[in-house]
Amino acid sequence: MHPFTRRTLLACTAFAALAGTAQAQVSERTIKFAFQNQADHPQAQGAKKFADLVAAKSGGKITVKLFAGGTLGGDLQTVSALQGGTIEMTVLNAGILSAQAREFGIFDFPFLFNSPQEADAITDGPFGQKLLARLAEKNLVGLGYWELGFRDLTNSKRPIAKAEDITGLKVRVIQSPIYIDLFNALGANAVPMPFPELYPALEQKAVDGQENPVTTIRSSKLNEVQKYLTLTHHIYNPQAVLMSKKLHDALSPAEKKIITEAMAEATTFQRGVSRVQANVALDELKKSGLQVSELPPAEIEKLRAKVKPVVDKHSEKVGADTVKEVYAALAKLRGGK
């Protein structure tokens, strides 16, 4: 046999042996992935992409089973289940994790980000990765950040033409102190409740309105029980994708590599889908009869002024160093010195 042919054959044999060893390190397992939005939402589309990638990369050995629409409970219940190891994965607004590590609260600051690209730079950079690393001590593993998008306000009572029109509205908010403080500061009556309870609460007029990105409003059919949409863009939500530390610790190096690679690809996909779907969702909501308005810049400035005490209060909770670090990074992105 020619020496070159022999070397090639040996190399191919060695590669096949390595591939076989790596495949042997992948066990048959099912991962339960629970989240709040419906199956046509960008959040769910990202989860399906991740599931498909994991199945392909594991040769069908690892199945990611999706539980959409809050069927396994609200965000707080799901995080607790992850910590206990009864659910393996979830994706949720990063700010909700302030209960686990206070620094995550910065992601719920009103009017923090001017664009999704700014949020990507912060979450994918040193700050965002440092926060994910903090979760290990809480029995959680942060895999990355997806996007929910800019939050807007809907209600069934009246169009919002100026900042003062928000006064007196009963608005459902996330079960997070900053959301409660934010809408109370705007003159509304903030009503915290889990997302799965939102549609019936709006339908029964237990609350007048709610605030969510347009993709969530559309996929959850909230336009059926709301009449007015105001594009306030008051908060931008990056979402954290989490895995139970119990499961992560049990994964082999080959399995962890599959999860990491699949998450990187799914993140690029999910963010892209989310940004395209935001425009599509807004058009569909308008066609459905929802009355859409945009506040003039002067009214947005009024909102900023009203919520400044909330930002100051939660800056103390989040920590001065954290706030300084994020605002400095944003200034650099915007060309500041």
CA dihedral in degrees (11, 26, 145, 131; nearest 10)? -100
16 occurs within a structural domain: no
Give per-residue pLDDT as tens, 90-135. 999 999 999 999 999 999 999 999 999 999 999 999 999 999 999 9
Per-residue pLDDT at 18 exceeds 80: no
Alpha-carbon gap, residue 92 to 115, rounded angstroms: 19
Per-residue pLDDT at 17 exceeds 60: no
Give the count of domains, the chain: 1
Per-residue pLDDT at 326 exceeds 90: yes
State both tokens at 299: 């009214």
Would you call 58 helix, strand, or coil by DSSP?
A: coil
> How high is the pLDDT of residue 175?
87
State both tokens at 207: 């609350």
Q: Say if CB 91 and CB 45 are below 8 A apart.
A: no
Tell me the average pLDDT across 157-170. 97
> How high is the pLDDT of residue 15?
47
Q: Tell me whether strands 228-244 and 140-155 are parallel, antiparallel or unpaired.
A: antiparallel
More confident position, 18 or 5: 5
Alpha-carbon gap, residue 103 to 324, rounded angstroms: 12
Give per-residue pLDDT as tens, 171-204. 999 988 999 999 999 999 999 999 999 999 999 9
11 occurs within a structural domain: no
2 occurs within a structural domain: no
Give percent of the chain with pLDDT exceeding 70: 92
Name every residue whose Cβ is closer than 8 Å to that of residue 287 and which is 6 or more positions away in sequence: none
Reported confidence tier of residue 336, pLDDT bands at 50, 70, 90: low
9 occurs within a structural domain: no
Position 84: which residue type?
Answer: G
Tell me the average pLDDT across 208-233. 96
23 occurs within a structural domain: no
DSSP 167-216: TT-EEEE-SSHHHHHHHHHTT-EEEE--GGGHHHHHHTTSSSEEEE-HHH
Specify the CATH number for the domain of residue 253: 3.40.190.170
Position 199: which residue type?
Answer: Y
Alpha-carbon gap, residue 242 to 94, rounded angstroms: 10
Alpha-carbon gap, residue 179 to 235, rounded angstroms: 10
Kindly report the pTM of this predicted structure. Answer: 0.86
State both tokens at 279: 């425009």
37 occurs within a structural domain: yes
> How high is the pLDDT of residue 21?
47
Tell me the average pLDDT across 19-31. 75
Per-residue pLDDT at 14 exceeds 90: no
DSSP 278-313: HHHHHHHHHHTT-EEE---HHHHHHHHHHHHHHHHH
Give per-residue pLDDT as tens, 288-319. 999 999 999 999 999 999 999 999 999 999 99
Domain that holds residue 301: 28-333
19 occurs within a structural domain: no
- For 212, phi then psi, to 5°, come to -160, 165
Give percent of the chain with pLDDT exceeding 90: 89
State the average pLDDT for the chain: 92
21 occurs within a structural domain: no
